[in-house]
Amino acid sequence: MSPLNLMYMTTCFQKMHSFSFSISPIQLTQSIFTDRDLTDSKCFIDERTNELQLLMKANLHGMYTDAEKKIWLRSVQFQLVGLSDDLNRYLCRDNKIWEAFSCRTQIRQTYLYCINKIQELIGYAKYYFFEWFDNKVKLTDLCRKIQLPGIRCKVNQLEEFLKSTSVKDDLSKLVIQQLRSVLKGRYFSSEQAKYIDQLSNHIQMRENLTDKLLMGILVDFNFNSPELFLYRSNEINESLDTEDNLHDQHALILKNLDGFRSMELDDVCLDHTWPSIGFHLLKFCEKKLVVLEKMMEARRMAMQDKSMMKSTFRALTGLSVAQLALFIKGQMETGMLLNQKVKDVANFVALNFYTENAEFISVDSFMKKMTDAEFSTALKLWEFLELIQDWLNDKYKVKAHLGLR
C-alpha cells in the first residue's frame, strides 16, 4: 500500500477513536450532552464512515496485489470491530452511568446511531469486497448477540439428534462441549457461525450414524480441537493394542496414514488458532510408524536366521497371546516368577515365544493384555491348567498321595 493511504487511514481511525473516547460515559459526566451535540456526533460519524468508504474503493480497486488488499481490509475490519464494541459497551454495560442524566435519550440515540453506521460500513465491505473480506475476524458484540440464539438452537438440536443415535456418549459430549466452548469465546466469527451451521446440518443428514461415521465427518470438517485429537489418537492406540503382531500394527498405521495424507486440508475449521486436525493426526501416525519400524528392525536383528530361531531359540506356544499374558501375570502375582519388572518380562516373552497367529509378539500389546484380561481368557487358561493338573496326577499320582479322589 502507498504510504499516503496508510497515513490517511491511520489519521481517520485516530479521529474516530478520539471521538469514541470523547462520548464515553466517564467523559460525559464532565459535561452536558445537548441536542446540538447529538447532531454534531451524527455528522462526525457520517463524515468518517464516508471517508473510509471512499478509501476502501480507492485501495481495493487500485493496482495492488490480492495479498496486500486482504491485509489492508483485515486491519480496517479489526479497527471497526473495536470501535463498535467500545460503543456497544457504553450503551449496554456502562448504561448505569449515563441513564441518570437528563439527556439520556440523546446519549442513547448517539450510541445507537454510531454503532449502526459502523455496522453498515462493515456490511458494505463484506458485500462489495467479499473476495478480500476476512470472515475469520470476530463479529462485533452486537452481531454476536443477535446471532448467538439461533446458533445455540442449532447446537441444542444437534445434541438431541446425537442422543437418538448409537454414537458413544463420550464422543457426543465432546462435540457439543467444544461447540458451546466456541460460542462462549470472545472472538467468535462469522466463519465459525457458518461452520457450526454446516457441520450440524451434515451430521443430522446421516442415517444410522455410528462412532466411525461421526469421527469421519469431524475429521473431514477439520474439527480441530485438542480434545478431539486426543480422543482420536487414543482410538488409534487402542486399535494397535488389539493387534498382537508388529506387522499387523505396522499395516494399521500405514492405512491410517494413507487416509490422512489423502485429506484435502481446507481453510475451514472450528478453531483458527489451532492447526488442522488432519495435520496433527498425520504427524502422530508418522511418529508411531517410526517407532514401529525401529521395533521391527530390532526384532529382525535379534532373529536374523528365522528358521533357526524358531527351532533353537523361540518356542511356539499353543496359548493365545492374551492367554500367555495372563499366565505370566499369574506367575508374577503368586511368586512363581520372581522378576517383578513387567516390561522386562514382556520383552523376554516377546523374544522367546510366538503363537500361531502372532509370529512376532508386540511388547506393548502383551503388557496391556497382562492387566486387561477378559473372563473368556481366564476360563480358557483355567482349562489348560486343569490339563496340567491331570497330567501331574497321571504321572505322579498326586491325588492319591493327597487323599483326593
In this prediction, residue 302 carries a pLDDT of 66
The stretches in the chain having pLDDT less than 50 are 1-4, 309
State phi, psi for 361 to the nearest 5 degrees.
Answer: -80, 130
Positive or negative, the Cα torsion across 363, 365, 366, 372?
positive
Q: Which residues pair with 353 in a beta bridge?
A: 315
Q: What tens digit of pLDDT does each residue of 100-149 get?
A: 887 888 889 999 999 999 999 999 999 999 999 999 999 999 999 999 99
Task: Tell me the C-alpha to C-alpha distance, in Å, between residue 228 and each of 91, 100, 172, 374, 404.
Answer: 39, 50, 11, 28, 59
| Claim: this prediction has a pTM higher than 0.85 | no
In this prediction, residue 248 carries a pLDDT of 87
Domain residue limits, the chain: 3-134, 138-221, 222-302, 310-402
Q: What DSSP string describes 296-361?
A: HHHHHHHTSSHHHIIIII-EE-SS-HHHHHHHHHHHHHHTSS----HHHHHHHHHHHEE-SS-SSB
In this prediction, residue 3 carries a pLDDT of 43
